[in-house]
Amino acid sequence: MSTTPQDTLHSDKDTESLSGATVRLAGDSGDGMQLVGSQLTNTSALAGNDVATFPDFPAEIRAPRGTRAGVSGFQLQFSSEDIFTPGDELDALVVMNPAAFVTNIGDLQDRGVLIANEDSFADKDLKLANLDRNPLESDDLKKYNLIKVPITSLTRTAVSEVKNAEGNTLGTKEADRCKNFFALGIICWLYGRNLEPTIRFLNDKFGKKRPDVAEANTLALKAGWNYGETAELFERNYQVQPAHLTPGTYTNVMGNQALAWGLVTAANLSNKELFYGSYPITPASPVLEELSNFKNYGVKTFQAEDEIAAICSAIGAAFGGSMALTGSSGPGIALKGEAMGLAMILELPMLILNVQRGGPSTGLPTKTEQSDLLQAMFGRNGESPLPVIAARSPSDCFDVAQEAWRISSRFMIPVIILSDGYIANGAEPWKIPDVAQLEKISISHPGPIEEGETFLPYSRNEDLARPWALPGTDTLMHRLGGLEKEDLTGNVSYDPDNHQHMTNIRQEKVDRIAHVIDPVEVSGPASGDLLVLSWGGTYGACITACRRAREDGMSVAHAHLRWLAPFPANLEEVLKQYKRVLIPELNMGQLSLLIRAKYLIDATQLNKVKGKPFKVSEILRRIREEIDLLK
């Protein structure tokens, strides 16, 4: 490929330095916004920026074309400082059609850059988006830096010379499929992003099978860049310097990918085979897909006939001695409830993953929510407490997977891992660890006993864990089951006192975990006016809001819960150091309910169930109100 000016990224226009920017690409769900969004993410990460992403797409694979329901968006914040969220208000917005315009324009800040594909604002396009007139003509847009670009026609021109293997030029449909890369080209010019990683991606993906497609997209990308450089529409472009991350080798990870990697790593560290029984469900399926690649790592994936079979197969594998887990989202977890109770009473180690989505019922499959916390805590019949751990960000999934297995195997108890759609599909830079330096997970199984000795499958060690005796071990033959167990022997028992005793022990096991997990850490003042308490995927928004509040002189601390069951041993003490406690959640107050019930603290709530993560500004606004109340 010949070297062109844009490979060296020399713009002849003025360049302004920025600390960071928030950009959203929005178009029809068939427009390839997710693809170019992840390319922009990669490119920005490779440029050394800290990045955080928020892909937002409809549940339908191909919603009716051009409609508001079919809009797919990809938001990205890249920065020279460390960031925890994909950003609130947009610095730049690309809209590929009127529907994308109307559903996204509200998030663009005043004087932000609005790039619109004016070719797709014809009457028929407006009608599909339920608009009477062309919004690009409206005076309301004067507050933005509107740049109308005929992206479709420019893309067609850019790719007009490309010939396929038969020597024919691309059809209109194929040519139009390149317009997302034209849009990406403009954004790359605007923010001084290198085109090289994207060109390499196109060659890797299409170079062999469809060199014409690789060439056409590359031409569209470069044409977009050239357009930014030569058209008299943009006054300047921007540069974002690398972030000051901890030294090391980095790669970009998405939440589900990091989770899968963390699981394989945990299996490796504990010298176990990983067994994953699952049934496809949004947004957890990528974990199954990712793990199914790892056959040469000793990973067995089983796509079961349903959610129930998925968890039951995992329990069977756990009995057999594997590091077993099942994964799903809320509706699937509901189906697994009975089997989770069985796994608990069997006291076998295993993991149960819930990548939460909007509920109830089928709810909002592709949108994020934190509304399965109480399901995780209580969604089983009888007294069946289980430990619950929640990931806070995409890369954190890697650590959470290991920690969950460490606790599960040590205490012989199933552990629930909560993630959510926002974490699962979001991406961020991850400092690659050296596997040899990670802490091993030690697991032991009892061997055969001497003649005259009796094996007691429900005897316990100091952690109250019972022995994990594996089938195949001579003299340890025993039977497990869902009927109440007699203490020590594990035989069926209907004895009233035994049932009380075993119920107490199963709760005590969960409670004791509090003594081995890390205490909750506080960022900000150790005591003061307000503590913001968060869990799961709202971490980034909460920590950022609290930092800003402190910058504005407010006495605000932030604590984030990794374990929801049990709560860290020092939590009560921490909560009592502040005049008020605010709990922001993407549900109607589930952690609040638990905190209020357990600690009798008058925590106040900030709740939202719109299928979207918190904006930093939403939390900051509420922090101000809480602080004002104290004045």
Partner 1 sequence: MSTDLPVLTAADFSSDQDIRWCPGCGDYSILAQMKKMLPNLGVPREKIVFVSGIGCSSRFPYYMNTYGMHSIHGRAPAFATGLKLARPDLQVWVITGDGDALSIGGNHLMHVIRRNVNLNIVLFNNRIYGLTKGQYSPTSPAGKRTKSTPYGSIDNPLNPLSLAVGCEATFVARSIDTYIKHLGATLERAAEHQGTSFVEVYQNCNVFNDGAWSYATDRNIKADHLLELEHGKPMIFGKNRDKGIRLNGMEPEVVELGKGVQEDDLLFHDEKATEPTLAYLLSRMRMDDGFPEPIGVLRSVEHPTYDDGVIAQMDEVTVQKGQGDLNALFRAGDTWEVEAQNT
Nearer to partner 1, 297 or 588 (CB): 297
C-alpha distances in Å from residue 14, one per residue of 140, 222, 234, 386: 28, 20, 10, 59
Q: Is 512 in the site for partner 1 (CB under 8 A)?
A: no
Q: Which is nearer to partner 1, 181 or 614 (CB)?
A: 181
Find the shortest distance in angstroms from Cβ 469 to partner 1.
Answer: 9
User: Phi then psi for 62, rounded to 5 degrees?
Assistant: -135, 85
Which amino acid is present at 212?
Answer: D
Residues 277-296 as x/- pattern, contact with partner 1 by CB under 8 A? x----------------xxx
Nearer to partner 1, 432 or 516 (CB): 432
> Which residue, 27 or 262, has its beta carbon nearer to partner 1?
262
Residue 548 binds to partner 1 (criterion: CB under 8 A) = no
Question: Is 199:1 a contact under the CB 8 Å cutoff?
Answer: yes
Minimum CB–partner distance for residue 315 and partner 1 (Å): 6
Q: Which of 142, 208, 479, 631 binds partner 1 (CB under 8 A)?
A: 479
Q: How far is the CB of 35 from partner 1 (least distance, A)?
A: 15
Q: Which stretch binds partner 1 (CB under 8 A): 135-143, 334-342, 536-544, 599-607?
A: 334-342
Residue from the set 145, 194, 239, 491 that interacts with partner 1 by CB under 8 A: 491
CA 325 remoteness from chain centre: 19
* Residue 520: closest CA among 564, 581, 554, 582: 564
User: Residue 345 CB, nearest distance to partner 1 (Å)?
Assistant: 10
The secondary element (H helix, E strand) that includes residue 325 is strand 323-328
Tokens of 18: 């920025």
Q: Please state the closest distance from residue 12 (CB atom) to partner 1, in A.
A: 28
Applying CB under 8 A, does 298 fall inside the site for partner 1? yes
Question: Contact with partner 1 (CB under 8 A): which of 35, 102, 136, 308?
Answer: 308
Nearest to 152 by CA among 189, 118, 113: 118
What is the per-residue binding string for partner 1 in 379-418, x denoting contact by CB under 8 A? ----------------------------------------
Q: Report how far residue 59's alpha carbon sits from residue 281's, in angstroms, rounded to the nearest whole number.
A: 11
> Least CB distance from residue 382 to partner 1, whole Å?
13
The footprint of partner 1 on residues 337-356 (CB under 8 A) is 338-339, 342, 346
Nearer to partner 1, 408 or 592 (CB): 408
- The tokens for 609 are 């169930």
324 sits near partner 1 (criterion: CB under 8 A): yes
CB 518 within 8 Å of CB 372 = no
Q: Packing angle between helix 307-320 and helix 330-346, nearest 10 degrees?
A: 30
**C-alpha span between 220 and 208 (Å, rounded):** 19
Half-sphere exposure of 573 (CA within 13 A, CB side): 8
By CB under 8 A, tell whether 476 contacts partner 1. yes
Provide the minimum distance between the beta carbon of 48 and partner 1 in the complex, in angstroms, as a whole number: 7
Residue that is written with structure tokens 């809009």 in the block: 71
- For 203-238, b/e burial (b = at least 16 CB within 10 A) is beebeeeeebbbbbbbbbbbbbbbbbbeeeebeebb
Round to whole Å and give the CA distance between 127 and 445. 67
Q: Which of residues 554-573 bind partner 1 (CB under 8 A)?
A: none
Residues numbered 234 to 263 that lie near partner 1 (CB under 8 A) are 242, 244-252, 261
Task: Give the shortest CB-430-to-partner 1 separation in angstroms.
Answer: 8
Q: What angle do CA 448, 451, 457 make, to 5 degrees?
A: 50
Contact (CB, 8 A) for 87 and 22: yes
Least distance from C-beta 221 to partner 1, angstroms? 17
**What is the C-alpha separation between 222 and 4, in angstroms, rounded?**
9
Question: Which span sits near partner 1 by CB under 8 A: 86-94, 184-192, 308-316, 368-376?
Answer: 308-316
Shortest separation between residue 416's beta carbon and partner 1, angstroms: 18
Who contacts 524 (Cβ-Cβ below 8 Å, separation ≥6)?
A: 546, 550, 556, 557, 558
The answer to whether residues 559 and 542 touch, using CB atoms and an 8 Å cutoff, is: no
> What radius of gyration do the chain's Cα atoms show?
27
Least distance to partner 1, CB of residue 403, Å = 17
Q: First vs last Cα of the chain: how many Å apart?
A: 66
Residues 411-440 close enough to bind partner 1 by CB under 8 A: 431-435
* Tokens standing for residue 583: 């709990």
- For partner 1, the closer CB: 331 or 536: 331
19 touching partner 1, by CB under 8 A: no
CB 523, CB 546: distance < 8 Å:
yes
The residues in 30-89 that bind partner 1, with binding defined as CB under 8 A, are 42, 45-46, 48
Selected binder of partner 1 within 150, 320, 446, 589 (CB under 8 A): 320
Residues forming contacts to partner 1 in the complex (CB under 8 A) are: 42, 45-46, 48, 197, 242, 244-252, 261, 264-265, 268, 273, 275, 277, 294-298, 300, 302, 304-306, 308-310, 312-317, 319-322, 324, 338-339, 342, 346, 431-435, 471-483, 491-492
